A and B are shown apart, each in its own frame.
Chain A
Amino acid sequence: MKIFKIVVKVLLGLIIVFVLFLFGVYYFKIGRYNVDDQKYPYYIGYLNPQNTFSPEGFILCGDKEAVYKTHHGAPKIAYSPNKGIYDRRIRSNFFKNRFNDSGYINFRFIVNCKGEPGRFETIQTNLNLEETSHNSDLVRHLLELTSNPENWNIFIHENQPRNYYTYISYKIEHGEITEILP
């Protein structure tokens, strides 16, 4: 019985030392670094519901509203059925000979677990990637084409449909779509 107690105490001691060691490693590697909450309240790319556009009724799924693919979007899995078909669909429905803008029009957004896109943010630049404003009808037209839910796949992770982040960039030259990126 006495030996049993000693073994339990030693094991507990070892566990405590191990846990302290893990905490120490975490603190040394990650925890000790500062966070500037004022300048960086969210991760880069976060889409705030307060200043983005969502279709009526759009909500993120899950209690925590977790968003996947925030590292670089979901270019390999997002397009339904694939990017090549998406590209053809957009180009065939795009109003030709109606605009004369050149530059990039980018939409960053989230596709929820039902495959509905929302929280759209628009970034408009010239061909030098400097911020500018393009013809508002052109931007609205591209947003309408992009936000069609038929374009977007549902992302399944661990047998559950999830919210995911993605972005798309239209390169426009003299009013024509020359590239759909990434």
Chain B
Amino acid sequence: MEKLQKYFLSFVIASIVIACNSNLSEEEQQARADEMINSGNIILSPHFQGSPKMMTYVEEAIALDPESADAWRELSIPYLKRGMPNKWKPLFDKAVELDPEEWQGWRGYLYLYFYRNYKKAIEDFNATDILTPDFDDAPQGQSVNYMRGIAYLGLKDYTKSLSYFDAYINDQANSSGEQYAEVTAFLYRGIVYYQTNDFENAKKDFLKVLKYSGNHYADAHYYLAKCFWKERKKNEASVHIEKAIEDFNLGYFHSRGYVEVLYQIYSQDLEELNNLIKNNYL
């Protein structure tokens, strides 16, 4: 009986929604769908994300405007966050198909961080060069050149990785000052230098990470310790590994929400390096 009442209520509400919307022109339906998705409705907040109510709400926006890329993207996100790539991809692909200028760089961002699919990410980042020429896109606030640097680092193509980090950092330095660049751009460029045994340039970048983060960044201290240890400078290496452990324990290390970062550090990495330095093992 309770279920019957629920169905009846749903039927009444659906009828009202359809009746109200059936009188709308195509433009009005598009505007209504856009308002539903982009006006900050509480139904789309994290608390409701992926709930039957939220999914139904987004489906109703798509019913009003099947060309709404934003709505297709919204529908895809719970699948992304909950580890269901088979369901996420077709929905997000639809958003990219409808509005590549807005969403192709974003898809690259997601391929990079959620799937570590560097080649697919680079394909999407490269597409943004054609879609928005002479402009470094920034999906989710992150420069495409910066993310290309990470993607090529993931592929161990250090030459290309370095060229994109250089492009990003130089661009920031020329436009607003290098202090406004992502501090992790220096960290990652330093890692590129470290991987290619260019410890001098690596150290310069790790010191910049510390300069722009109040001298507290476990990753930078850790890699500085590694550089000094490679150069057999025990005192400097000891100082930095101790600071790395201290900063790590205080929570000052590179991390992201939802996913780990490329070159994530763990407490055991620091302890192992500390033991190597203490026991003079190279």
Report which A residues bind B (CB closer than 8 A).
Answer: 29-30, 32-37, 39-45, 70-73, 75, 82-85, 104, 106, 108, 123, 125, 127-131, 165, 167-169, 171, 178-179, 181-182
Cβ–Cβ < 8 Å partners of A165 in chain B: 82
Let me know if B266 and A45 touch, CB within 8 A.
no
Residue of B nearest to A165 (CB): B82
Residue of A nearest to B42 (CB): A29
Let me know if B85 and A71 touch, CB within 8 A.
no
Residue of A nearest to B93 (CB): A129
Q: With contacts A44-B78, A72-B82, A84-B264 known, what are 5 further pairs, Cβ within 8 A?
A: A32-B13, A33-B43, A35-B56, A45-B82, A178-B116
Let me know if B52 and A83 touch, CB within 8 A.
no
21 contacts between A and B (CB under 8 A): A30-B42, A33-B53, A33-B56, A35-B10, A35-B56, A40-B55, A70-B82, A71-B82, A75-B258, A75-B259, A84-B264, A84-B266, A123-B83, A129-B86, A130-B86, A130-B89, A167-B82, A169-B83, A171-B115, A171-B117, A181-B114
Q: Mark B252-267, 1 if CB is under 8 A from A, else 0.
A: 0000001110001011
Shortest distance from the beta carbon of A111 to any chain B beta carbon, whole Å: 14
Q: Which of B3-27 contact A (CB under 8 A)?
A: 6, 10, 13-14, 17
Q: Mark B116-132, 1 if CB is under 8 A from A, else 0.
A: 11001000000000000
Q: Which of B86-112 contact A (CB under 8 A)?
A: 86, 88-89
Cβ–Cβ < 8 Å partners of B14 in chain A: 34
Given A35-B52, A41-B52, A83-B260, check contact A125 B85 (CB 8 Å).
yes
Given A179-B116, A181-B115, check contact A42 B52 (CB 8 Å).
yes
Q: B81 near A: Cβ within 8 Å? A: yes
Given A84-B266, A182-B83, check contact A34 B13 (CB 8 Å).
yes
The interface residues of chain B, by DSSP majority, are classed as helix
Q: B50 near A: Cβ within 8 Å? A: yes
Given A84-B266, A84-B269, A123-B86, check contact A36 B115 (CB 8 Å).
no
Let me know if B82 and A34 touch, CB within 8 A.
no
Q: B268 near A: Cβ within 8 Å? A: yes
Shortest distance from the beta carbon of B92 to any chain A beta carbon, whole Å: 10
Let me know if A71 and B50 touch, CB within 8 A.
yes
Residue of B nearest to A84 (CB): B266
Let me know if B17 and A34 touch, CB within 8 A.
yes
Let me know if B82 and A106 touch, CB within 8 A.
no
Cβ–Cβ < 8 Å partners of A167 in chain B: 82-83
Q: B212 near A: Cβ within 8 Å? A: no
Let me know if B82 and A129 touch, CB within 8 A.
no
Interface residues on B, range: 35 or more
Which residue from B6, B17, B79, B260 sits with its C-beta under 8 Å from A182?
Answer: B260
Which residue from B52, B82, B266 sits with its C-beta under 8 Å from A36?
Answer: B52
Cβ–Cβ < 8 Å partners of B10 in chain A: 34-35, 37
Residue of A nearest to B269 (CB): A84
Let me know if B115 and A44 touch, CB within 8 A.
no
Cβ–Cβ < 8 Å partners of B82 in chain A: 44-45, 70-73, 108, 165, 167
Shortest distance from the beta carbon of B228 to any chain A beta carbon, whole Å: 23
**Could you tell me the distance between the alpha carbons of A63 and B35 in the complex, rounded to whole angstroms?**
41
**Could you tell me the distance between the alpha carbons of A39 and B57 in the complex, rounded to whole angstroms?**
12
Cβ–Cβ < 8 Å partners of A43 in chain B: 50-52
Let me know if B53 and A35 touch, CB within 8 A.
yes
Let me know if A85 and B81 touch, CB within 8 A.
no
Let me know if B266 and A71 touch, CB within 8 A.
no
Q: Mark B38-76, 1 if CB is under 8 A from A, else 0.
A: 000011001011111101110110000000000000000
Let me know if B52 and A123 touch, CB within 8 A.
no
Let me know if B86 and A125 touch, CB within 8 A.
yes
Q: B276 near A: Cβ within 8 Å? A: no
**Could you tell me the distance between the alpha carbons of A93 and B50 in the complex, rounded to whole angstroms?**
35
Let me know if A40 and B85 touch, CB within 8 A.
no
Q: B84 near A: Cβ within 8 Å? A: yes
Let me know if B267 and A82 touch, CB within 8 A.
yes
Let me know if B55 and A123 touch, CB within 8 A.
no
Shortest distance from the beta carbon of A42 to any chain B beta carbon, whole Å: 7
Cβ–Cβ < 8 Å partners of B258 in chain A: 72, 75, 182
